[in-house]
Amino acid sequence: MSKIVCFEKTGDASVLQIKESQAAEPAKGEVRIKVEAFGLNRAEVLFRQGLYLEKPILPARIGYEAAGVVEALGEGVSEFKIGDKVSSIPSFSMSKYGVYGDSAILPATSLSSYPDNLSVEEAASIWMQYMTAYGALVELGKMKAGDYVVITAASSSVGFAALELCKAFGVTSIATTRGQAKKDRLLAAGADHVIVTENEDLVKSINEITNGKGANIFFDAVAGPILMQLAKAAAYGASIFEYGALSLEATPFPLMLSLEKALTVRGYTLFQINKDAEMQKRARNYVYENLKSGKLKPVIDKIFSFNELVESHRYMESNQQNGKIVVRV
């Protein structure tokens, strides 16, 4: 028997249940892994609440990122063998698959080996954050030395990944956070500048940092009213990537500023990279090689036990974290 996490209705963290289930056999092209750790993402909170891009089919499993060991192979799978250490790439639908639990079945195409220098907790904390940031900033944003890049809600795992990439590509990073408590941690993580939005004017601060030129790329997880402020602080021809909706408020489109400054404002998710085989390959290779060399290092904020699953989701919703929240199975 295996233990899996599911929910029978949408709602707060208390709807998550750990249930015993007979371990299923992988179908053609699938792999079953023994899960040793899984990472939490904001997408899973929204999925649990019924507010995500896709709606759960109840009762629903949940979870995008896990690390573990291959224990069964479906027909036609030749790239892995029993006993291989793997982690999952979020290139699948949570309406069909989910990794929270001590066992999970996934398409073989959504699995990857990971460098030996990573712990299992770190291995459960890499693909969502690094490929999300790499896809927007490098593949689509084409960031280059001399650019100014604004990263909102920068204390998330994706935010920390974006800061590492900015440092690697020689761009000036401007992190934002709501409260003073996270400023020093973001500076220690490599942010060149940190704007505390509770007591600093966002537009004024960005203009001062950029000597009035404005920022070239915005990597925004917040949306809502902040989009108008980002447009005001943008350089001519800047790109604004909206990859989240933490605000949950309406997001007015800055039409006149977009026309005046020739801005590109685009919705973005990791799935845009995963749907393009060549972009995904470049992203995977870059992340793997730089994790292996130690140039990239995932930041783990807190590790919960499996029995503390509900508490782990509540902790994520408290917005206290700096980096990745992981559950050890």
Q: Domain residues of the chain, as ranges?
A: 2-126+298-328, 128-271
The CA-atom distances, in angstroms, between 242 and each of 154, 171, 220, 294 are: 14, 20, 5, 29
Q: Is the pLDDT of residue 23 over 90?
A: no
Q: 128-271: what CATH class?
A: alpha beta
Reported confidence tier of residue 166, pLDDT bands at 50, 70, 90: very high
Instruction: Write down the pLDDT at residue 248.
Output: 83
Q: Among 256, 252, 199, 200, which Cα is nearest to 228's?
A: 252
Amino acid making up residue 324? K
* For range 275-291, the mean pLDDT: 96
Q: 2-126+298-328: what CATH class?
A: alpha beta
- Which pair of structure tokens corresponds to residue 301? 């904020």
Q: Which residues pair with 98 in a beta bridge?
A: none
Q: Is it true that 2-126+298-328 and 128-271 share their CATH fold?
A: no
Buried b (16+ CB within 10 A) or exposed e, 147-164: bbbbbbbbbbbbbbbbbb
* For range 185-198, the mean pLDDT: 96
Instruction: Write down the pLDDT at residue 1.
Output: 87
| 192-239 pLDDT, tens digit each | 999 999 999 999 999 999 999 999 999 999 999 999 999 999 999 999
The CA-atom distances, in angstroms, between 313 and each of 47, 87, 103, 232, 304 are: 12, 21, 20, 35, 10
Q: How many CB atoms lie within 10 A of CB 190?
A: 16
Per DSSP bridges, beta strands 30-39 and 324-328 are antiparallel
* For range 134-156, the mean pLDDT: 97
| 80-116 pLDDT, tens digit each | 999 999 999 999 999 999 999 999 999 999 999 999 9
**DSSP H or E run through 19:** strand 17-21
Q: Among 103, 115, 153, which Cα is nearest to 133's?
A: 153
* For range 164-183, the mean pLDDT: 96
Per DSSP bridges, beta strands 17-21 and 2-7 are antiparallel
Which positions ≥6 away from 286 have C-beta within 8 Å? 134, 138
* For range 251-269, the mean pLDDT: 97
Binning the chain into helix, strand and coil, the percentages to the nearest 5 are 35, 25, 40
Q: State if pTM tops 0.85.
A: yes
Task: Establish how many alpha carbons lie within 13 A of residue 162's alpha carbon, considering only the half-sphere containing its beta carbon.
Answer: 34
Q: Is the pLDDT of residue 274 over 90?
A: yes
